[in-house]
Chains A and B, each alone.
Chain A
Amino acid sequence: MVRVVVPSMLAAQAEGRQRFDVEAETVGDALRALPVADLVLNERGELRQHVNVYVDGTDVRETGALACPLTGAHEVRIVAMLSGG
């Protein structure tokens, strides 16, 4: 079991829930289990360009992206990378 934490706008799209405990072997499995999977993954099932995912503090793009294993992991955190002024 791993805990997935989503930012505020995603929580608003999931009836206010910000934390999800899911059974998942990989990051892809965990994201696809979310009720906001379509907002995190694009319509081809890939991680959206400016969505970052951290497993216990490590950016998954450095560790296999959606294939990154979750063995022993505690927390998957989703961050929207927004810039501007």
Chain B
Amino acid sequence: MAVLALVGTRKGLFLLRAGDERSSWEVEGPLLDGWGVYHAIVDERDGSMYAAANHLVYGPTVQRSPDGGRTWRRSTQIALPEESGLTVNATWRVQPGRPENPGVLYLAGDPAFLSRSDDGGETWEANRGLLEHPTRNRWPASRGGLILHSVQLDPSDPQRMYVGISGGGTFRTDDGGATWAPKNKDVEFDLVPDPYPEVGQCVHKLLLHPARPERLWQQNHCGVYRSDDCGDTWERLDGNGLPGPFGFTIMLDPADPDVAVVIPEKAYEYHYTVNGLGVYRTQDSGRTWKRMVHGLPKQAWAAVLREASAFDSESLYFGTQSGSFFALSAGDRWVEGVRHLPPILSVEVTAWSA
């Protein structure tokens, strides 16, 4: 299956295309030239492309392309309710809704908001349950912002979804977004005096396994965790062979819920990989981790951001802040498909046919 990778960078969006082997990549771009593309995705329901595009001067936007990136149109309304006293600092992720809800999308961003569109991304309305959450005053903002970034829809329950907030923690709704319960039990937050608070944890990336939706994985500021009960309890896994607790991204295998892949970085004021570019995989639910570095540079001080990795049924993909894009090819060998891009902020993949 040929693949199209949407690679968001600090200076625009690049479309990378490869055939079955994923060894040779063609580059198109930059689209949305000059925009910091925090995330871009193809909505598999209708083929539209969405981008969370931000600019230092012109501010946050959501952009939609109906024609594969040739033309783009901004959402006309992304503002937060005036009475909240909040304004959108940045858009971080556009998450298409469920197959049975065409036209529904979710927008995640800073300051820790989740908005919903019912009109294909033209207008957005903020979720009040999160905006007015009773614990919100205990979500600590950081220099990088107060970011709601992960949005996970439970395919087995139309009323259930999860969000991950840095820093705020994991929250779950079982009533379609009306109310949200903190799901941070046993998740450490070692920057504060009480290291196991109800909320405030710094989730870096939260993923639900599509084939086993009660299983969640998270790369946290303070460790890698797995939950097998919809977030009610968490087991810490980074002590089982990872070089450290810190990292941003995590990848899964859609066919095997016991597989997860992380890229640890030097904690926590430093944010780069040590001992080269080290990718670690578990195939036993996190009991053990093994390095998978065939094809990766041994001399590297790389940073891979939370949105800068992706996976599909055939491969894994990630991009670095130094502008290199890697894909896993046959024999667990990484191929540097493209280099010298602007700093990579996000990677998504979708099937593509020439």
Binding site for B on A (CB under 8 A): 9-10, 12-13, 38-40, 42-44, 48, 50-51, 80-82
Contact = CB atoms under 8 A, between A and B. Distances in A.
Pick the 10 closest A-B CB pairs, nearest first: A43-B79, A39-B58, A80-B57, A50-B57, A9-B34, A43-B87, A51-B57, A48-B59, A82-B57, A43-B88
A54 B326 CA distance: 46
A13 B74 contact: yes
B57 A38 contact: no
Nearest to B76: A38
A21 B290 CA distance: 63
A39 B72 CA distance: 15
B58 A10 contact: yes
B57 A81 contact: yes
B88 to A, nearest CB: 6
A11 to B, nearest CB: 11
Contacts of B88: 43
A19 B35 CA distance: 21
30 contacts: A9-B34, A9-B35, A9-B55, A9-B58, A10-B58, A12-B33, A12-B34, A38-B61, A38-B74, A38-B76, A39-B55, A39-B61, A40-B58, A42-B59, A42-B87, A43-B78, A43-B79, A43-B80, A44-B82, A44-B87, A48-B57, A48-B58, A48-B59, A50-B56, A50-B57, A51-B57, A80-B57, A80-B58, A82-B56, A82-B57
Contacts of B59: 38-39, 42, 48
B33 A9 contact: yes
Contacts of B56: 50, 82
A22 to B, nearest CB: 19
Nearest to A49: B57
Interface residues of B, number: 17
A38 B60 CA distance: 10
Contacts of A50: 56-57
A53 to B, nearest CB: 12
Contacts of A9: 33-35, 55, 58
Contacts of B80: 43
Nearest to B33: A12
Contacts of A44: 82, 87
Contacts of A12: 33-34
Nearest to B71: A15
A14 to B, nearest CB: 10
A57 B317 CA distance: 49
Contacts of A39: 55, 58-59, 61
Nearest to B87: A43
A58 B57 CA distance: 20
A51 B33 CA distance: 19
A12 B53 CA distance: 14
B350 to A, nearest CB: 25
A10 to B, nearest CB: 7
Contacts of B78: 43
A1 B114 CA distance: 42
